[in-house]
């Protein structure tokens, strides 16, 4: 076997982990760091955190494990009360720094940061549409495609109003495939889950105030958050100074959570669909043994 191919087969191959937090008065960068550390099993190729104070934004990301990517100085520079983070296993887009997340760009409505778990099956077509509109792309990742789609106003919308729910909804109507998103804007953190519910995303509440979104509930205990519920398939969540707000996105078909979350991806102490992963795996073993 070719040595490069053998190396690729030996490397961890799992889903990405994403996290978002809105929490004034809390060190959101450090909280995101610990949440990503708890989600490390979902991706070991790169890690990143983007933060905002409502005016300016900053990002730090690099190749490697969470504990290798961030130093105390790195975290100190990530100021604000909003943050999104991601730990990555590459699906669409090779394993290079240019594909590391979150993506952070400046729009006419302030910063836009995006962390993505999943894979868009129609990414080439969406990418081509952006290029035809004159949008320049710097990476091969479908996550950059998502970021640029969200930066544009929804069809028929007033470009002077930052209607992020409408933009996310327009993206969801055009996108095909599996995804969960965390999105940072000037005033809020958004979360969204594909209409099939292929990829997981849950909501948590911090004791000190503020709310979070995470790929798995195992990240909540690490940061002292209480599990609230899962984001429903096709649902768009907004976390801001008013708390939690939900918007129904595309009408979901039958829920289709990826079975490999139970078999392989998720941590045993995480809860999905009201069941701990460990208990489901026990039951699978019992059924197989029978």
> Where in the sequence numbering do the catalytic residues fall?
16
Please enumerate, as own/partner, the contacts of 172-177 that have beta carbons within 8 Å and a separation of 24 or more.
Answer: 172/234, 172/236, 172/249, 172/250, 173/250, 174/122, 174/126, 174/149, 175/120, 175/122, 175/126, 175/146, 176/120, 176/121, 176/122, 177/118, 177/119, 177/120, 177/121, 177/122, 177/123
**pLDDT tens for each residue of the chain, 290 residues long:** 333 333 343 443 447 999 999 999 999 999 999 999 999 999 999 999 999 999 999 999 999 999 999 999 999 999 999 999 999 875 554 567 888 899 999 999 999 999 999 999 999 999 999 999 999 998 888 899 999 999 998 887 766 678 999 999 999 999 999 999 999 999 999 999 999 999 999 999 999 899 999 999 999 999 999 999 999 999 999 999 999 999 887 666 778 889 999 998 999 999 999 999 999 999 999 999 98
The secondary structure element, H or E, covering residue 62 is: strand 57-63
pTM passes above 0.75: yes
């Amino acid at each position: 076997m070719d040595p490069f191919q053998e190396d690729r087969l030996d490397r961890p191959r799992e889903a990405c982990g994403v996290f978002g937090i809105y929490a004034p008065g809390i060190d959101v960068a450090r909280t995101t760091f610990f949440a990503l550390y708890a989600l490390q099993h979902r991706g070991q190729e790169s890690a990143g955190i983007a933060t905002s104070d409502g005016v300016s934004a900053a990002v730090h990301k690099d190749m490697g494990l969470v504990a290798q990517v961030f130093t105390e100085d790195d975290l100190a520079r990530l100021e604000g009360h909003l943050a999104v983070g991601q730990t990555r296993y590459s699906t669409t887009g090779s394993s290079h720094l240019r594909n590391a997340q979150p993506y952070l760009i400046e729009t006419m409505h302030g910063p836009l940061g995006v962390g993505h778990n999943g894979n868009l099956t129609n990414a080439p077509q969406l990418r081509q549409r952006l290029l035809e509109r004159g949008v320049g792309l710097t990476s091969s990742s479908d996550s950059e495609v998502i970021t640029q789609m969200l930066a544009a106003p929804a069809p028929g919308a007033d470009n002077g109003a930052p209607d992020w729910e409408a933009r996310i909804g327009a993206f969801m109507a055009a996108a095909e495939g599996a995804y969960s998103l965390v999105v940072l804007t000037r005033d809020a953190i958004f979360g969204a889950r594909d209409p099939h519910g292929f990829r997981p995303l849950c909501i948590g509440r911090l004791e000190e105030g503020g709310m979070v979104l995470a790929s798995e509930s195992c990240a909540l205990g690490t940061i002292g958050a209480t599990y609230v519920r899962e984001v429903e398939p096709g649902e768009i969540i907004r976390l801001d100074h008013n708390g939690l707000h939900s918007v129904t996105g595309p009408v979901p078909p039958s829920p289709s959570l990826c079975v490999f979350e139970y078999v392989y991806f998720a941590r045993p102490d995480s809860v999905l669909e009201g069941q701990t992963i460990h208990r489901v795996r026990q039951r699978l073993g019992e059924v197989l043994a029978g």
